[in-house]
Amino acid sequence: MTRQRLRAAAALTLTACLLAGCSNSSSEDSGGDTGSEAGGTYTIWDPYPQFDATSDWVKLLTRCGTDAGVTVERTGYDTTDLTNKALLAAQQDNSPDVLIVDNPVVSTLADAGVLTTTDELKVDTAAVSPNLLAAGQIGGKTYGIPIGANTLALYYNKAVLDKAGVDPSTIKDWAGLTAALEKVKASGKKGITFSAIGTEEGSFQFLPWFWGSGANLTQLDSAQGVAALTLWTDWLKKGYAPNSVLNNTQTTSWQEFAAGDFAFSENGTWQLANAKKTGFEYGIIPIPSQAGGTAPAPTGGEFVTAPVQSKTGRYAVTEKLIGCLTSADNAYTTDTTLSYIAATDAVQQKQVAENPELKVWVDAVKAAKGRTSDDLGTKYPKISQPMWTAFQAALSGSKAPQQALTDAQTTAAAATK
Q: In what helix (H) or strand (E) does residue 109 lie, and over which residues does it extend?
A: helix 105-111
Helix axes 315-325, 328-338, angle to 10 degrees: 60
Q: Phi and psi at residue 39, in whole multiples of 5°?
A: 85, -170
Asked if pLDDT for residue 10 goes beyond 70, the answer is no
Does residue 203 fall inside a structural domain? yes
Alpha helices for 213-327 (secondary structure H)? 223-237, 250-258, 272-275, 315-325
Does residue 226 fall inside a structural domain? yes
Return the amino acid letter for 287. I
Q: Quick one: 196 and 83 in the same domain?
A: no
Q: Quick one: 248 and 119 in the same domain?
A: no
Does residue 304 fall inside a structural domain? yes
Does residue 372 fall inside a structural domain? no
Asked if pLDDT for residue 22 goes beyond 70, the answer is no
Q: Quick one: 206 and 336 in the same domain?
A: no
Q: Quick one: 206 and 242 in the same domain?
A: yes
Q: Quick one: 145 and 177 in the same domain?
A: no
Asked which of 38-42, 84-88, 340-344 is least confident by mean pLDDT, the reply is: 38-42
Q: Quick one: 122 and 167 in the same domain?
A: no
Does residue 361 fall inside a structural domain? yes
Q: Are strands 190-193 and 262-268 parallel, antiparallel or unpaired?
A: parallel
Q: Quick one: 7 and 103 in the same domain?
A: yes
Q: What is the pLDDT of residues 263-273, one digit of tens each?
A: 999 999 999 99
Q: Quick one: 393 and 251 in the same domain?
A: yes
Q: Quick one: 201 and 350 in the same domain?
A: no
Into how many domains does the chain fold?
Answer: 2
CATH (domain of 266) = 3.40.190.10
Res. 79 pLDDT band, cuts 50 70 90: confident
Q: What is the pLDDT of residues 158-188, one digit of tens each?
A: 999 999 999 999 999 999 999 999 999 999 9
**Which residues, other chains included, contact 358 with Cβ-Cβ below 8 Å and sequence gap of 6+?**
341, 351, 352
Q: Quick one: 401 and 256 in the same domain?
A: yes
Q: Which of 112, 160, 168, 169 has its CA nearest to residue 138?
A: 112
CA–CA dist 164, 161 (Å, integer): 5
Asked which of 114-118, 157-161, 213-217, 269-273 is least confident by mean pLDDT, the reply is: 269-273
Q: Quick one: 213 and 325 in the same domain?
A: no
Residue ranges making up the domain that contains 99: 3-149+300-367
Q: What pLDDT was estimated at residue 27?
A: 34
Q: Quick one: 304 and 292 in the same domain?
A: no
Task: Give me the mean pLDDT over the 297-304 stretch.
Answer: 96
